[in-house]
Structure 1
């Protein structure tokens, strides 16, 4: 957990690199992922501090307020579990109702349609109400990658589009609340839009875009939600190794818009060993990668400026076909891996994989008698076992085949 003194270091480093980017994104992340915001849990004082910061940034960029109360769009809900005292500021009532607040800014170009650009700004607080993968003592989950990174890219895009001559659409920028509790803010917005939702051209979402790896892999979800997406994302790409997912349904806020027949693109640089842990901190982010993603999204918007409203297309929901399983290895899959097998991006202590000596970077190619060709094969393999079962797992490590025994 780092404090503001890191900013001085990052500014110095930025001055010594090139003129590729300024330090605005670092400043945004450092504020949003600071300990004093206590993990930005929905309805908490820390989330309110983050919301106030985003509003000030929107004002400086020149965005008009487009909420129901200025820049705010409030919504209320009852959590599955009672929130802790950190949520007390947010008009918490005796029935444990919580108030979340979307933060919404707007560029009115007088156009017929509007592009929605969003990223959630809430996170897990101290990790006590579910979602945390931290096994130690109570600690602040700062969520630098999840999702201060996405919010900072969104604000960078807002500043660029405000200054640009790309006027074929209006632009609505939204920092969603309640994503970690079930896409609550985005779901509320599509049902209670502060613009005419039917006039939405398309929606762009950024969630965890701060940890681009050396091979510059970038996952783009929703590429099947409009016939133009596939051609556009590849023709404009010169920097990334793109991994596509056609489905418009996924674990982030773009899903709410897709389910309302709006074309979506969701950008993601992959999960990692710090995901949903207190160690997801600002100094681990790849800021140059984040600027590259912002430039890439800007080029997509620019290319489509005179195309009118995009045609929407339904996509197959892969989750409906996914096998159900009762056991797990206790690993973090590498969702950006496109080779044969299932590559492991993290191993949880004291779970079956850890006990069997499986390591980060291992590629699982077989479980029992089941060949593991990809993520779906891995899930199919897991579905064949129940708690207490043992099986052999074959994996590749540094090009060599290794066999181990796993007990679920």
Structure 2
């Protein structure tokens, strides 16, 4: 999701003066062997396998509410089950699906149902419980896409945007679920549906967090556009929001440890993190070289294919987020 609604923009400005949220974290020690080994576990080939599937003709652009998207949801649920992840009971979920309605005329469907009906979409969410469980660190990425161009029949594969972010969240879930050491805080892996058509998935998750009383005990790291172009740096967009300082400090520390160039952005450029800001929930978006829009030339085009993924950028962002997540959760 890379657009910013006027109402959202106005509301975000009002949040800039809000106070800090849950506690800060310490900077990583130089050469910390555990943190370095955590970064080394990130497997680019494994992420590319996920991207190849997500951006395949079989999934036809992953439009929210489409049969292809529904099949993908089942696949993602099975992946969480294979990794031994648990449903997020704190949000009242007994399974991995958090369902929500979307007006059918907002979905990118070739043969949509009548405009006055709704399509049921879903976030696919799971967790690794923390030993204290007092806070949640949530990693998000939207798995939906723009589907198929109704006039030309061209598929929008969405490899960089946002199969790359989805592949990274899956990879991070795989890594953290394989560790013998449990995190102190609960790690949540949330793959968001119906984001491209209006931020419905992030809205549903934010509402559930607020209703469950988690607003002041959660941090969101959203992953979008991790693998395009020839850029050389990672971005973190935090809206200069004070509640995000501990998250930014953790990401900055991780980037320094791994010698990854980091650019700190202020105003959110229209990502899923913006929805969480409306609920006063700390949320940042990480991506690869988004300051230079030219580095994402295939954004929302049928040319956004897996062969154009900048695998080094994909690797570096995922490694930094792996280390930062652990710093926040330890």
TM superposition score category, shorter chain reference: 0.7 to 0.9
| 1:195 CA displacement | 5.4
Q: Which residue of 1 aligns with 2:176?
A: 161
Q: Is the 8 A contact 1:29 1:152 kept in 2?
A: yes
Q: Is the 8 A contact 2:55 2:159 kept in 1?
A: yes
Q: Which residue of 1 aligns with 2:225?
A: 208
Q: Is the 8 A contact 1:232 1:300 kept in 2?
A: yes
1:227 and 2:245 aligned: yes
What's the TM-score, normalizing by structure 1?
0.62
Deviations 1:2-56 (A, max 9, x none): xxxxxxxxxxxxxxxx997362211111111110111111100111122122112
Q: Is the 8 A contact 1:118 1:176 kept in 2?
A: yes
| 1:201 CA displacement | 2.4
Q: Is the 8 A contact 1:258 1:264 kept in 2?
A: yes
Q: Distance in 2 between matches of 1:19 and 1:186?
A: 28
1:260 and 2:285 aligned: no
| 1:205 CA displacement | 0.3
| 1:79 CA displacement | 4.4
* 3-state DSSP of counterpart to 2:218: strand
- Give the 3 Å change call, closer, same or farther, for CA 22–236 of structure 1 in structure 2: closer
* 3-state DSSP of counterpart to 1:23: helix
- Give the 3 Å change call, closer, same or farther, for CA 230–109 of structure 1 in structure 2: closer
- Give the 3 Å change call, closer, same or farther, for CA 83–209 of structure 1 in structure 2: closer
Q: Distance in 1 between matches of 2:42 and 2:328?
A: 25
RMSD: 2.6
Q: Which residue of 2 aligns with 1:101?
A: 122
1:152 and 2:171 aligned: no
Q: Which structure has the highest helix share of the two?
A: 2
Consecutive unaligned residues of structure 2, counting only runs of 5 or more, are 1-39
* 3-state DSSP of counterpart to 2:189: strand
Q: Which has the higher contact order (CA 8 A, sep 6+)?
A: 2
Q: Distance in 2 between matches of 1:278 and 1:304?
A: 37
Q: Which residue of 2 aligns with 1:71?
A: 96
What's the TM-score, normalizing by structure 2?
0.75
Q: Map of 1:7-406 to 2, 5 A cutoff? A: 21=43, 23-66=45-88, 68=93, 70-80=95-105, 84-85=109-110, 95-110=116-131, 111-128=133-150, 137-164=152-179, 165-193=181-209, 196-198=213-215, 200-211=217-228, 213=230, 215-222=231-238, 224-225=240-241, 226-237=244-255, 238-247=258-267, 249-269=268-288, 270=290, 271=293, 272-306=296-330
